Amino acid sequence: DGVATASVPYQLERDGKVVAKGTANFENGLARVRLTDRIDKAGAVHYVTRLLPENDPVPGNNAAETWVEAISAPRVLIVSAYPDDPVAAALQAQGVHVDLETDMHNLSAGRLSGARGVILDNVPASDVPVDFLKAIAFFVNDQGGGLLMLGGKNSFGSGGYYKSPIDDLLPVSLELRDEKRKLMVAMAIVLDRSGSMRASVPSSGGSKQKIELADAGTIGAITQLGPKDLVSVFAVDTQAYPIVSLSTTDPDRQGKINNVAGIASQGGGIVVPVGLRAAWAELQKSDVGQKHIILFADANDALQQNEGTFDIVKQIADANCTITCIGLGQDTDSGADFLRQIAAAGNGRIFFCSDANDLVDIFTQDTVAVARSSFLTQVTPLKGSTGWMEIAAKNLDWLDSIDAFNMCYLKPKATQAALTGDADASPLVAFWQHESGRAAAITFPLAGPHSENIRAWPGYSDLVTSVTRWLMGTEAPDGLGVRAKLDGDQMVLDLLYDQKLDAELAKNFPKAIYTQNGPNTDQAPDNVQNITWERLEPGHFQAHVRLKPGQPAIGAVQVGDYSLPFGPLAPGLDLEWLRDPAGPRSLRALVAASGGREITELPEAWRDLGRQYYRTLRPWILIALVLAVLAEALATRIGVLKGWWPKKEKSAKKAA
């Protein structure tokens, strides 16, 4: 702005948390600031520097971002509910480098950088960021990583992982069959039908409204209920309207689905306590022991509009009925804390869904976790299997029984190393190769409640270490490496290899893939794209890929059975140019409706547009008519028109 010197406040953020603040002194538009920060965990860290000037007319261009990777020895990331997880201690005692994380807010795709495996130990899916779960899917399928899920009340189907991004990765099926269920459930669904639900969903191309996807989510929940389960549905704005009265799911399941599909947005904001009171009054009509409420609301519209919300929540919780809240939006929206408090007081789960297309999966996950709980707390005999020798060098002296486990079913092509010794023969230890990576499941707890006898078992460490080392896979051979860097908005990828590997690469030509996911993209999370190599010289392949600004890219180079991961990398984003994707669609619709054309280059606007222009002639015609009348009157008065008109005959009376 022509100012030679200026002092501007700034802040440095690491993974969304402010780690430094200060003032930058600008001279002729340039300032240099040196900062130091300690990265105490391995993986990639996302840094953002923000300038905070006062009265800035263009604040969008005041941020710059980059990723910094902290490299360590090959490690395993353990996401656990236990700060002193015995699984981590067992692995560390065997020389495995462990990265233990108990705070789910610290999880991001960057934490997987440099990891060889991930262990999920009794953490519910609702606590784990969805983006991290999606990153695990790419980590296993394409980057050759390993995944292990351990048993517990908050694992597998009971933990809400059914229909989650990692459901397909596991070697066991998470859906509990009706004949194995122990309890029936009565469920009431409170559905926000306020005016905000009429808005279209951008990721659907504008073809669907939020309320339509909320209806689909409710239908997904009804679909997962057993034939003898009870269900009721209310559409709520300022009042609660019964859509499905409390009744068994069958025999009229399709009729209930049809009724829900007809719910439309009617205007007004959702009054949460009204919906909760209606749902609880309906559930009290049943004597079923397990009762549950799903409250769905717009996270920007779910406000406590009158008193008594937590009085009814306490009454519901005291009767051992649980409440799960699903907020459409971000966890920072105006009503997010309100929904979070209801879920906590109601002993339920909290989900925030920024993309309405994910609603069906979220409704389904919660329904399966409640209505089809698969965690059984009963002493069950254990039986070893010969499949163990496929992943371990020596056999195990298995313990006789376990105190609890998650009932699952072995998927086709998966192998089980241990199973229950009863008639069900449910898998207790299972594994398989999945795409480029590996996945395993130990369906009984190795930490926390119901694990005392297992932790005292002499083979505990051998079990944990053998499965984990198998998951980590084999390291790439010496002389084979990949290097990724940014050059402007281009990712430059170099594959360097020793020429002694020419035969291996001739047999298995290297395949490079990547994906970009970010808040400003319409790409699906699993949109994986191939990279074309250019051979520069013997032992050196290179590729150039233009990246979308502001969207982190992760990928892998696959050579036969080996995967070399890289990323995340993200070119800088000029926030000044961010726009709502609905804007260009609206402009294109205006162009089509008006008969215009789209111009992508500014100089084209000044060229011949080839259009016909029309102007109304009404004012000129009116002026001409007035002038004609005046001219006729003037001509008559001065006699100019004498002799122009035919003469009239004189009357006979006058002639006489």
Whether 414 shows a pLDDT value over 80: the answer reads: yes
Question: Is 290 buried (19+), middle (13-18) or exposed (0-12) by CB count in 10 A?
Answer: middle
Q: How confident is the model at residue 3 (pLDDT cuts 50, 70, 90)?
A: low
DSSP 46-68: EEEEEE--TT-S-GGG-EEEEEE
Question: Which positions ≥6 away from 85 have C-beta within 8 Å?
Answer: 78, 100, 121, 447
> Where does the pLDDT of residue 50 fall: very low under 50, low under 70, confident under 90, or very high at 90 and above?
confident
pLDDT category at 197 given cuts 50, 70, 90 is confident
DSSP 8-state symbol, 122: S
Token pair 């191309």 in the structure block, residue:
205
pLDDT tens-digit map of 628-649:
888 887 777 776 555 555 555 5
**DSSP secondary structure string for all residues of 487-514:** ETTEEEEEEEE-GGGHHHHHHS--EEEE
Identify the bridge partners of residue 405 per DSSP, sorted by sequence position.
376
Confidence class for position 303, pLDDT limits 50, 70, 90: low
CB 350 within 8 A of CB 325: yes
Check: pTM over 0.85? Answer yes or no: no
The string of pLDDT tens digits covering residues 120-147 is: 999 999 899 888 998 999 999 999 999 9
Name residues whose C-beta falls within 8 Å of residue 296's C-beta, 6 or more positions apart in sequence.
189, 190, 191, 192, 214, 217, 218, 325, 326, 328, 359, 363
**Residue pair 214/191 in contact by the 8 Å Cβ criterion:** yes
Binned at pLDDT 50, 70 and 90, residue 577 comes out as very low
Residue 640 CA: distances (Å) to CA of 159, 291, 469, 643, 649: 105, 103, 117, 9, 22
- How long a stretch of residues is the chain? 656
The C-alpha atoms of residue 41 and residue 33 are separated, in whole angstroms, by 25
Residue 42: what pLDDT? 64
The answer to whether 406 touches 399, Cβ cutoff 8 Å, is no
Chain mean pLDDT for the chain: 84
3-class SS shares of the chain: helix, strand, coil, % to 5: 30, 30, 40
Q: How far lies 233's CA from each of 118, 189, 382, 589, in Å?
A: 39, 5, 42, 38
Kindly tell me if the per-residue pLDDT of 157 is higher than 50. yes
- Residue-wise pLDDT tens digits, 21-33: 888 888 877 888 8
Distance, first Cα to last Cα, the chain: 102
pLDDT digits (tens, 9 = 90+) for 526-571: 478 889 899 898 899 999 998 887 778 889 998 888 888 888 887 7
Q: Which pLDDT tens digit goes with each residue over 234-287?
A: 999 888 999 999 999 999 999 999 999 999 988 777 889 999 999 999 999 998
- The H or E element that residue 14 is part of is strand 5-14
List b or e across 475-500, with b for residues whose CB sees 16 or more CB atoms inside 10 angstroms.
Answer: ebeeebebebebeeeebebebebeee
Q: How sure is the predictor about 203, in pLDDT bands with cuts at 50, 70 and 90?
A: low
Residue 61: pLDDT above 80?
A: no
The span from the CA of 503 to the CA of 379, in Å, is 55
Residue type, 173: S
If you average pLDDT over residues 470-476, what whole number do you get?
87
